[in-house]
Every structure is written in structure tokens, then in C-alpha cells.
A and B are shown apart, each in its own frame.
Chain A
Amino acid sequence: MTQLLDQVIDQLGQVILGKQHQLRLALACLLARGHLLIEDLPGVGKTTLAHALATVLGLHYQRIQFTSDLLPADILGVSIYDRDSGSFRFHPGPVFSNIVLADEINRATPKAQSALLEAMEEHQVSIEGETRPLPQPFFVIATQNPAHQVGTFPLPESQLDRFLMSIELGYPDNSAERQLLQGADRRKLLAGIEPVLSTAQLQELQAQVNAVHAADALLDYLQALLDYSRQSPHYQHGLSPRAGLALLHGAKAWSFLHDRDMVLPEDLQAVLPAVIGHRLQASNDQSEPLSSGERVQRMIASVPVT
């Protein structure tokens, strides 16, 4: 099975150059049945990554470009009167697919955002009094521009919490950039990607991830991390239990990706920045707030592995 995953990484690596770590994180996030938030400047390949992921996993994929005039119905779907049958007929919106790419999610109003976010949590949508289940598996890959850019509605903390991971792609390094500039058009490359996994295989992999063993010693370490976040003066709030679960699932997926059947402290440390970076806010009464990376690094450095 893990050969399949290596193939997935290979395929993705052809399109997104020099971002092996982020690709693995993104894949781990999906294997852990979590939603993914990609946060970075425009033009570093967020959309390409989302598109490539959907294709390579062989999933049905829809994209919603979030704009400030986007309405919930544009996401969820709408009932339209059908003259032929004389009744209302529901036209499902783009959310009814396996992978939803919510592009520039922070450009939409909170109302539109929350329509999607509710679907993410419940895996179902309620439209006009009727509850409709979403297809399985269901992932949301959202991209957003840094909040300080013009015309954005930052996602509130409660909604950020629903993304299992938040990753940044960052600029490519020198050689990757050169390769990019010399290489073929990304769109063409995307079209060339073959699906590696079937839906059944993906669900099988997800089940295996869940079965990865987390020993007591590891849970001790995880709890020590959570405790630290709650006691330390550097954070506004400690990590929630949901964040703890997210860490554990993320770490399980990460160790599974690395062909292990038990979680090691290193796995936790590897997924920690992506899982808690968007969940931990720097405390207000600090004179010099720590950056997201510093917050995480401080936590790792402060909690001993026993």
C-alpha cells in the first residue's frame, strides 16, 4: 500500500517542485480525514497543489472561487422550480464532491464562509429544511491569502480550528525555481497526472492510518505538549482537546506515510507546526509576540521527550 503513497508523492512532486515536505503534510492531512488550509501569497502554487492532489487521488473535484459577493447558495446548491414536473428540483452546488477547493476563502463574507465550514464539520448540508449527506470521502482544501492583504475577511479562530492542518508553501528554492522556469506549463503537467488511487483504496488507507499504534509513552508526550500550551504565558489560549486529537491523527498519518506502524515523538514534532500553527495565538500581554513558527519551536524545545 505504501508504494501507492510513494507514487502519489512522486506524481505530486512533478507538478509542485521542491516541496516534498509540504506535499507529505498535505497527503497526511487527507489520510487523517482532515481538511487542509493552504495559506500563502498568491502565485506560489496553492491552487495547483489542490488540483494535483484531487487528480492524483482519483477523486471528484470542484473548485469554488470565493469572492466577496459569493452567496451560500452558490456553494451548497439551490432548488429551482421545474416547470415540467411542477415541483422544485434541487441542483446540488459545488460542495457535493469529494474534494472541494475553496480558493481564497478569506475573500468571501463570513456568511458564505460559514456555509462551507458547517459542511466541513457535519459532512452534510441542510438546505430548505432537508438534510443532504455529502459524498464520502469529503475533503476541503482551502487556500487563503495572508490576512493583512486588502479585501479579506479573516477566518475566526473557531473556524480555523476545523482545518486539521494549515501549511505554507513558501517560495521555491533556487534550483526548483530554475526547473520551474525551464519546465513545461503547469496546466499541461496537471492534465498529465494519472490517478494513482481509487476511492476504495483511499478509504482503506485511511482505515490503516487509524490503526497506527500510539503507545502510552507517546500519549504522555502529547499530553505534556498540550499542558505546556495551557500553562505557558506565551499563548492566549491553550490547545483544545480537538487540537489534541488533530495532533494525534496527523502524527499517525505521518508515521504511516513513513511506513511505520507506531507513532514516534518525531512524528508529532513533524506535524506540530502544521497542526497547531493556526490554532495557537500569541498572548496579548507579550511585548514582542512570537511568530507562528517561534511559538511552535518554543513548545517543542520546552517539552522534554521522555
Chain B
Amino acid sequence: MTPVETRLTERSRLLLLVATALVVLPHAWHLHAWVSAFVLGVGLVYLYLLRRQRTNVPRMVLLALVCAGSGAVLYQYGTLLGRNAGVTLLVVMLALKLLEVKQRRDAVMMVFTSYFLVITNFLFTQTPLIAVYMFAITILITATLSAITHDSPGRPVRSHLRLAGTLLLQALPVMVVLFLLFPRIVGPLWGLPKDAYSGMTGLSDTMSPGAISQLVKSEATAFRATFSEAAPAPEQRYWRGPVLWETDGRTWTTGGSGLQAPLPRDRLQPVDDRIIQEITLEPHNKRWLPGLDRPVDMSVRATQTAGSAWRSPQPIRKRIRYMVASQSGNLTGTLNPMLKTAALQLPDKLSLRLQQLAQGWRNGASDREVIQQALEHFHNEAFVYTLSPPLLGTDPMDEFLFETRRGFCEHYAAAFVLLMRSAGIPARVVTGYQGGEFNTVGEYWLVRQSDAHAWAETWLPDSGWERVDPTAAVAPERIEHALDLSGLDAGAPVRYRLPGGGWLASSWRSLRYTLDSLNNSWNQWVLSYGPRQQRELLAVLGIKQATWKDMVLGLLISVSVILTGVAGWMFLRRPRSADPVLHAWNTFCQRLGRMGMPRKPCEGPRDYLHRVVAFRPDLASQVNPITELYITLRYATPDDTAALLSRLKQRVRQFTRRVSHSKKFS
């Protein structure tokens, strides 16, 4: 046994620092700034000590730093548990461990902690980019492990990296098999702790002036959708979200529980074919499920509200995928009294001017004529459609309609519904999304938060609920194009994102499409790979109704097959001696090895001969000439190589045969 070397070379210490820094780096985005500053400080101290060839920090200083670090975490989060606090604590302690690394054992511990810390990135974000980064970091950490255990001054860092890369690549097939076949529990791959859901964006169940114009400033993805057939025209691409009934003049809400109750299905009388979509919804921590207006059926467990919006039993906290059947034209039948009351509800204090405006339109005209006049009013008067409307005072709708006349879709929808209700027409506000961008690479529709929209629905006795979009009357382009969010001056009219532009714009667009498409595939095939997908895959492989025992068995078999394959490959790849002399010699040595006299790798032929003959003098007559022939062929310059070689081969053949023969009878 050789003594185990436990001290670390300077280079492996440096590598440890680099690895730690890169492991901690992605956490800088979601942890507090002081954590990054702390880690940076510790790293600099470590670097300084390294330059000064010192590696020990006084125990008391370390203790004080540990107390300070844990104290800071405790002060920041009030706990040491949970996602943010836990990860912060881990980061702080990993950095401090740097100062304590004396021996190989400490460094190995750091490496293993780093492996764990890398995984915690998935608790924050699960994009393919971070996965690629994590893979690269894992290679680096493994290289560090290699450097810690097998460093030598002459060995380049590159060789450690290559070793680590090879190891991980070799592990890849096993990883794929484990990923596909390991029994899945119901739930996402990455169950998040409870504090992970704050800060999710999306439409809420209430709407007040400015709410949607704030939301549309976010470029975040709301959901992705694919149509099983051709996509509807832009003016038909309204995605239905929460329906709002009740207002106090400023804020709109979904109203009482009666309005959330399921709507009896028989009232719906479809007038055209169903449009089937598949929607991949990003988590938004609310319960509603969007669908193309008007969704009539969902593949997940959900209830349809009286407003034809769909609600999930629990808040959406993970990405889900579901199918929606929609019908653009529905006869919704008679309006039941409760809905009628809700659809005519007016705030206690309603501006007189507004009421007068609405009643002026009524004046004996039919419902349709009133609606037409209202839209014309928005169109003809000097209304401006803007993302940054001026703030409104105590009576926002009055101010908007008669003074500022600048607003975003929620202003128009809310004002329109109020006007309709004042004119005695049942109406409600519908929020959701409008439009969406077609990703030509992935062939799906991407709907962002910036596509958030609000419109109105009025109830007409002959046709039921009908969509009216007052925004379209003010700014018809909004329905055709997505918003351009660059350059938002206060009160300025909205600009639109128009197709076209130079090759730069179009290549930028296609790059974005590719990235988003990649993201989408990642979500669909990796992150949302659950028990159902696993069952489907197994069914494709011909295994139906697999229990977890079957799966574990299958897993073991697959991994064994892979490992056997790798072993076989390594065996076959073992350099077959191309040299016939060497081949004959190796055959001879193997034969002797099986007889209990293996050649030591470092043993020369003559030494081996002497050992063999000393052990089995009876073999001398056979072993001697073979060895002499081999030595002559390999180390001397014989005249007739061919003749000697054939003689060597023949002798070796005779030897192996004779020995096995004699063995049989001995």
C-alpha cells in the first residue's frame, strides 16, 4: 500500500475556487445582493491566502464568520428552512468551507456540496439554458474532483476536464434510461417549496384602471397553443379568461359564488364546428384556465363558470397542458334572473353625465342600435388608445369618458359595459388575451402577458351573449397586431409590432422563435414528463399496465444491458495486438497464466522464462524455444522473420494444445 496523499496542490485549490464561484453564480440572480457580496469577499480572502501560500484561517475568525452568515440568513428570512433561506445558507456555508479546506477530505466534501447546490438551481428556474449551464458546471466540478485526487504538476487541467467530460458522457445513456423508466410519482419533476409562487404574473380576478396596461408591459409567456386544424383569423383569436360582473365604479370583480357555479350545459346551443386546441399554460398561481373564446370543454378537471370561463380546482402552480374545445358562435339561451341582475348591476354612485349619455342613445332605439352608437361614439370622439393612461380620480369612468379620453383596453371595456348597463342592456367585462404570435419553427402560437386584453359582452335576446370589443372601435389595429412595447411615453398612443423590417429584424425574429420553440419542447418532453407520459411511452414499447415493480425490473435490465454493452465495447476496443509476434506471445502468456503462472506486466520475457521453468521444470523444453523465438523476433534483427514467425506460431499452437490435452488426462 502506498501512503495516501492528502494535501492539495495549489492548482487544485484554485480550481476549487473557480468551481465554487461558477456554482454560486446563477444563484446571484435570485438571492439577495448581500449573499453575492459575502461570497465574493470570502473568495477574495481565499485568493489572497492562496497567493500568500497560507491556507489556514484562525478558528475564531471562522466561527465568527459562520455565526455572521447564519445570523444574516436568519435575519433575512426569519428561518433557516424553506427554499430561499435553505439555498442561501448552503451558499454561504459552501463559501466559508473554502477557508477551511486543508486536506483532500475537505475538498471532496466541498465538491459533493457543490453537486447538490447545482441541483438547487432547478428550484428557481428550469429553462434549458440553466440545464446546459448545470451540465457544464457538473463537468467542471467533476474535473475538480479529479484534480483533488489525482493532480500532478505535469498534468494539464485540460486532461482533468477531458476525464470528467468522458465520465459524464458515458453516464448519459444510463441517465436517459433512468429518466425514462424510473417510476414517476404524480406531480412535477421539480416540486417547489411554498414560497416559490410569489411574483408570478398573470391576469387576476379583479380589474381596475391601469391593471392590464401594467400587465402588458411584461414579455413573459402566458401560454402556448396549437390548433389541431387551421388557426382562426386574428379578429377571432380572443382567449377567454376571468369574466367580471361586479363593479364599484373603479374595480371590477368576478362577483359572488353564484356566478362561479357551473353553468347548465343544455343552455348552450352550438352553431358551428368545434375548434380544438392544446394549451400549455405557464403557472400563474390563479385558478382560471384560458381557452379560445368560447371554451366549451376541457380535458382537465375544471368547472365552467356562469361567464363561460373555466376554473381549475386548485391554483395553477406548475405548467400544465390540456385540450380545449371551443365554439365561436353559441346561442346561450335565455338569461336567468340572477345573471340578469348581475349583468345590470351599477355602482352606487354613478356619474350623471354617463347615465345621460347612455340614455341619450337609447331613446327608443333597439339594443343593437345602442351598441352601434356607443362604438361610434368611441370611434368618432377624440379617444386615444394608450399604454400609459393618466391617473384617474374619484370617479374614474366619468373622468375617462368626458375629460382625459386616454385609456387602455380595460378603460374602454369598463366604460362600455357601464354605458350598456345604464342603457339597460345586460353586459359584462371579459378579460383574457387577444392575438398571439405564431412561432414558425415550433408551429405553435405563443401568447404573452403583453397580449392581455379586456373586452365586453352584451346579452341580446335573440342571440345571447355576444362579444363587443370597444377597443377595436378606437384602435382597430390592436386586433391585428401585437403591441410594440418599446418607447412608452406617458399618454402616447400605442404602437404596434408590425411584420417586415430588414433582414436583421427577420433573423432576430427567427432566432427568437427557435429559442422559444426549444423552450417549449424542453417543457413538453423533459419537465412535464410524468406518470402519464411514462405510461404512454411504455405502451409504445409494448408494455401495458406496467406496475412500478415491472418498471424497476425494466430499469435494472436496461442499465445492465447498457453496462454490458459498454464493457463489451471496452473489451473489444482493447488494442488487439496488430503485431503477430506479440499476438502469439500474448496467447502463450495467457495460456501460462491460466496454468497459474501469469506474466507480471513489468516482467521481461527472459525473467518470465526463468520463473516458469523454476516452477514447472517439465515445461522447459517447450517454453524455452518459444521464448527464444519471441526474443529473437522482437528484440533482435533476424534474417528470416517469416520463417521464425511461423515457427513461433506453430510452437505456441502446439503448446496450448498439448497443455490442455495433458491436463485432461492428468
Contact = CB atoms under 8 A, between A and B. Distances in A.
B635 A264 contact: yes
B501 interface: no
Interface residues of A, number: 27
Contact of B604 (A213, A230, A305): A305
Interface in A186-241: 213, 215, 217-218, 230-233, 238
B603 A305 contact: yes
Interface stretch (A3-11, A25-33, A148-156, A283-291): A283-291
A156 B151 CA distance: 28
Interface residues of B, number: 23
Most A CB within 10 A of own CB, among B9, B155, B636: B636
Contact of A266 (B6, B152, B154, B607): B607
Contact of A213 (B154, B582, B635): B635
Q: Chain A's interface: helix, strand, loop or mixed, by majority?
A: loop
A263 interface: yes
Interface stretch (A104-112, A128-136, A295-303): A295-303
A262 B636 contact: yes
B154 A231 contact: yes
B602 A262 contact: no
A238 B153 CA distance: 11
Contacts of A269: 602, 604, 607
Given A215-B634, A287-B5, A233 B152 contact: yes
A160 B7 CA distance: 30
Contacts of A238: 154
A233 B604 contact: no
Contacts of B7: 285, 287
A262 B604 contact: no
Interface in A29-49: none
A85 interface: no
A304 interface: yes
A282 to B, nearest CB: 12
A263 B153 contact: no
Nearest to A269: B604
B499 interface: no
A303 B602 contact: yes
B636 A213 contact: yes
Contacts of B635: 213, 215, 217-218, 262-264
Nearest to B151: A233
A265 interface: yes
28 contacts: A213-B637, A215-B634, A215-B636, A215-B637, A217-B635, A231-B152, A233-B153, A261-B636, A262-B631, A262-B635, A262-B636, A263-B635, A264-B605, A264-B606, A265-B604, A266-B605, A266-B607, A269-B602, A285-B7, A286-B5, A287-B5, A287-B6, A287-B7, A302-B602, A304-B602, A305-B601, A305-B602, A306-B582
Given A215-B636, A266-B607, A269-B602, 18 more contacts: A213-B635, A215-B637, A217-B634, A231-B155, A233-B5, A261-B636, A262-B637, A263-B635, A264-B635, A265-B604, A265-B605, A266-B604, A285-B5, A288-B3, A301-B602, A305-B601, A305-B602, A305-B604
